[in-house]
Structure 1
Amino acid sequence: MGSAPKLIITDQDLGMKVAVERVLVDTRHRWCMWHIMFKVVEKLPKSQLGNEDLKKELNSCVWSELIEPEEFEESWNNVMEKYGLKDNEWFTSMFDSRKYWVPAYFRDFPMSSLIKTTSISESQNIFFKRYSKSRSNLVEFLMYYNNALDGQRSNNNRLEYLDFNTIPTLKTNSALEKHASTIYSDSGFKLIQSEIEEAVDNVTMVTVSTVGENEIYVLNDKFSKNWTVSYSISCDSYACGCKMFERLGLVCSHIFWILRNKKLKLVPDELHGGRWLKSKFVKPVHFGFDDNIESFIVVDETKQEYRDMHADFYDIARLIEGDGDKIRAFRHIMAEGKKEVLGEGNVLSISEKRQMIENFYGSEVPSEIEVHPPDVVSTKGSGRRLSRLEKEIRELSKPGRKCGKCGEIGQHDSRNCDKIQELKKKKKRKQQC
């Protein structure tokens, strides 16, 4: 790809761990938290399986992104000692490998709050499976792949249109919120808006002091927790102890309180966070600012015409939503326009289709095919032994059937009914004892 990724997430595959350390020397390796926390129930002693307090304290310790590594280690040791897990081999090994999976050790890594599991790659797999088939040849694969990209681009154009033409609802009288609505996309603005509301309603100042060229603020939030915000006068920069901007690229409520206290009306450029910004072509929908958003020269007229076409379509669709007659009329107009632009769309014969594929591929179909797709192999992990919990979940997910001998609906039939009934009796006698 030309450069190594900044972060790679895998399950607890020791072979992958060694390979990443040897080959991707500058890449941060992280283990999937879902895979690890899913195993907790299997590794707990039977005496602790129903202990909800243990699960609550362990989750609070492990999943928290607002604690430093030292705080995590102290909290972990307290939980292990309190519930007698200090000598548990699995929990000990997980603590030894804590730098690979615990969020406290990724607080300074960009987007660490969004990327904790392998769910992103899994969602991409599901997305492309909607468009592709496992037995596709190379030409079909390229066609399917392009269709998938067209689907993503179409959705992106729809979201950009909404950003261009939708006026967000403001919840405070803060000028910062008004400016944020002009620079952030819809999803980004909703997150930013909640932080601004928090700054207005719940954040209060505890102390303020000056150390050299830095102003040090101690602020209290709705959870009665104190956070330290540092403002560098010389660099005009902000840093908060919660590190939300470093983790997510979003300004936290604590920094917003400082900005309001300084009577600022615009979010400083260094606090924008590139991931959440609108397209550079968007114009502000709330007016009243001296600083205009930069205008960019469109270098590709065809692409701009394509974008305008999408904008026109979504504008019309929004206006006629709910009016059946207008929707049918608009669809008729589109059908007529399609015939006029693309032709009547006559159905191609088999020979014409073959000729079209050969022209696209650049060679004729051979009379004898010597190269065939490889045999399907079992995927990684399919041969592993299932855990007790996975076996029980799989059994419970199977539909029940009626036994012809006892008449009960369950997971057995008349052939093994006697054994099932005997096991039930033994279990009942044990419970009574």
Structure 2
Amino acid sequence: MKRDLQNYYRDLRLKIRNADAQMFVAQLARKQEVNSAFFYDFVVNAEGKLMYVFWADATSRKNYKHFGSVVSFDSTYTTNQYDMIFAPFTGVNHHLQSVFFGAAFLLNEKTESYVWLFETFLKAMGGVAPTLIITDEATSIKNGIDEVFPTSVYRLCMWHIMEKLPEKLGLVIREESEFWKRMNACVWGSETVTEFELEWNSIISEYGLEDNEWLTKRFSLRESWIPAYFMDISLAGILRTTSRSESANSFFNRFIHRRLTFVEFWLRFETALECQRQEELIADNSSIHRTPQLVTPWAMEKQGSQVFTYEVFGKFQEQVISARDHCCVQGIAQDEGIKIVTFKTGASRVREVRCDTTTMIANCSCRLFESHGIPCRHIIQVMRIENQKKLPTFYIMERWKKRCKSESVYDEQGNLLEENPTDSLDAAARKKISTVRNKLEDLIQRAKQSDEGMDF
């Protein structure tokens, strides 16, 4: 009954009063006792009050090893009953699902808080910083990133900025459908810097928004959040979509509530995380055991179905079909071993692919492979023009493969990064085996291009 549940929570709060934070940290300690790959750290002040706490379990740390090149960090979630900030790190796995890397509670949003958090996160992840980190807009976060992740590319979350836009406009414009249609196309769809700036200035002028300070500030920060300015950054596109941010918010909102104690939070958090991981296991099973329907006789489509996860293959197959149906070659030229192929698209854009005919590595002006890690229809068509039966391995990213997580992964102390480890070897032996296994895998990848290599 609802009343029974309310009474239970009332009794729980009375029981844990004055010991909630201590019980929470003790639970993290017990997790580490059970599995030495569970990482946590915390700081208390002189009065014994909890200031910061961070944790990442073995599966989260393993996920970071595979998918941590692009990280989303968010500190905008509703705080708990102690007004502490919940700050999770997330990414995208091989099924294009949101995946959890670790999280923290922080007492405040000062620069020193984020410096502590990022340093602790770096320690948990073996000293490997993300290539790209996307965050909400806050000077203290940027200061922390600049100090701890100086080599990481820093970008602002488009979704958070666009979510704030309605409240920054007048009532008349908020109800203007044509404005939203143009603004969304300008922000999300512009492919070049010139295209974005011309359309943005046109919209601002047409709707009389020249004096809107918030929009003026967003334009001054455009290189930090508009995709047209970072199309060349590897995989920057996989975290910028609205659906990705909504997905992450939907997950975290299951267990974030302003009135929750730490103990109540942990109960909800573990349940939600288990559900997220169950979804990944279901997707793993589908990718391994389901055979996608092929729509072309091309060998590279079949190759993709065998290598990519079901979800990534769907994106790849869209490009294969489009290459077959919509790739109209406009011209072909040769320049010192570089084949230059131009295409006319349905949107009246011209795409140019420059292909090194020796290595068969090509670059397309649409930048789909750079931003999403999936070869575009133009590159696929050029491979066919060059009579390539299969895609070069360069275009098959490890992170999108069905079995990308199958190998054992260890941390710096030799702990097996699995939720339920069964390895009884000592840490030094486990680390040595991990190193040898990775080198052997390297050799196999190099050798499999020829029978002679594999025989050797």
Give the TM-score normalised by the residue count of structure 2: 0.55
Match of 1:13 in 2: 138
Q: 1:338-375: per-residue Cα shift (whole Å, max 9, x none)?
A: xxxxxxxxxxxxxxxxxxxxxxxxxxxxxxxxxxxxxx
2:329·2:342 contact (CA, 8 Å) conserved in 1? yes
**1:31 aligned residue:** 156
Q: For each residue in 1:227-279, what CA deviation from the matched residue of structure 2 results, as whole angstroms up to 9, or x when unmatched?
A: 00110123321100011001111011111111222222212100112222111
Counterpart secondary structure, 1:263: coil
Unaligned runs of 5+ in 1: 283-295, 298-305, 307-433
Quote the residue 1:340 is aligned against.
none
2:327–2:381 Cα contact (<8 Å) kept:
yes
> Are 2:294 and 1:170 equivalent residues in the alignment?
yes
Who is 1:83 aligned against?
A: 207
Paired with 1:129 and 1:39, the residues of 2 have a C-alpha distance of: 21
- For residues 171 and 282 of structure 2, the distance between their equivalents in structure 1, rounded to whole angstroms, comes to 52
SS at match of 1:26: coil
What is the distance in 1 between the residues matched to 2:337 and 2:383? 17
1:193 paired with 2:320, answer no
- The answer (yes or no) to whether the contact 2:133–2:153 under 8 Å persists in 1 is yes
Q: Kindly indicate whether residue 284 of structure 2 is the aligned counterpart of residue 160 of structure 1.
A: yes
Distance 1:261 1:19, change over 3 A: same
Pairing partner for 2:236 from 85, 100, 112: 112
Q: Which structure's residues are more often strand, by fraction?
A: 2
CA distance in 1, matches of 2:269, 2:176: 50
CA 1:121–1:152: 2 relative to 1, 3 Å: closer
Q: Structure 2 vs 1, CA of residues 212 and 60 (structure 1 numbering), >3 Å: closer, same or farther? A: same
Distance 2:128 2:303 in 1: 36
Cα distance between partner residues in 2 of 1:250 and 1:36: 27
Q: How many residues align?
A: 283
Which of 252, 276, 295 matches 1:125? 252
The alignment status of 1:223 with 2:350, answered yes or no, reads no
2:141 is paired with a residue whose SS is: helix
Label 1:9 to 1:164 Cα distance change in 2 as closer, same or farther (>3 A).
Answer: closer
**Residue 234 in 1 paired to residue 363 in 2?**
no
Counterpart residue type for residue 320 of structure 2? I
Larger gyration radius, structure 1 or structure 2: 1
2:359 & 2:345 partners in 1: Cα distance?
A: 26
In the other structure, the counterpart of 2:368 is: 244
Aligned residue in 1 for 2:377: 253
- Structure 2, unpaired ranges of 5+: 1-121, 409-419, 421-456
* Residue in 2 that maps onto 1:3: 128
Work out whether residues 341 and 354 of structure 2, in 8 Å CA contact, stay in contact via their aligned partners in 1: yes
Map of 1:285 onto structure 2: none
Three-state SS of the structure 2 residue aligned to 1:136 is helix
Match of 2:191 among 67, 73, 83: 67
Alignment RMSD (CA, Å): 3.4
Structure 2 CA distance for partners of 1:43 and 1:154, relative to 1, 3 Å: closer
Could you say if the C-alpha distance between residues 51 and 153 of structure 1 is closer, same or farther in structure 2, counting changes exceeding 3 Å? Answer: closer
The match for 2:75 is none
1:23-73 per-residue CA deviation (whole Å, 9 max, x = no partner) reads: 332222222222221232222244533332222222111112x51223222
Residue 235 of structure 1 aligns with an amino acid whose one-letter code is: T
Which of 49, 52, 77 in structure 1 is aligned with 2:177? 52
Identity of aligned residues (%): 30
Structure 2 distance, partners of 1:274, 1:196, is 20
Residue 217 to residue 161, structure 1, CA distance change in 2 (3 Å): same
CA change 1:43–1:127 in 2 (3 A) is: closer
1:139-158 → structure 2 map (5 Å cutoff):
145=270, 154-158=278-282
Q: Is the 8 A contact 2:398 2:404 kept in 1?
A: no
Aligned counterparts of 1:91 and 1:143: Cα–Cα separation in 2: 38
Structure 2 contact 255–268 (Cα < 8 Å) conserved: no
Higher RCO, Cα 8 Å, sep 6+: 2
Moved more, 169-178 or 271-280: 271-280
For residues 312 and 362 of structure 2, the distance between their equivalents in structure 1, rounded to whole angstroms, comes to: 20
Contact 2:132 2:236 in 1 (8 A): no
Contact 2:360 2:392 in 1 (8 A): no
What is the TM-score of this pair, normalised by structure 1? 0.58
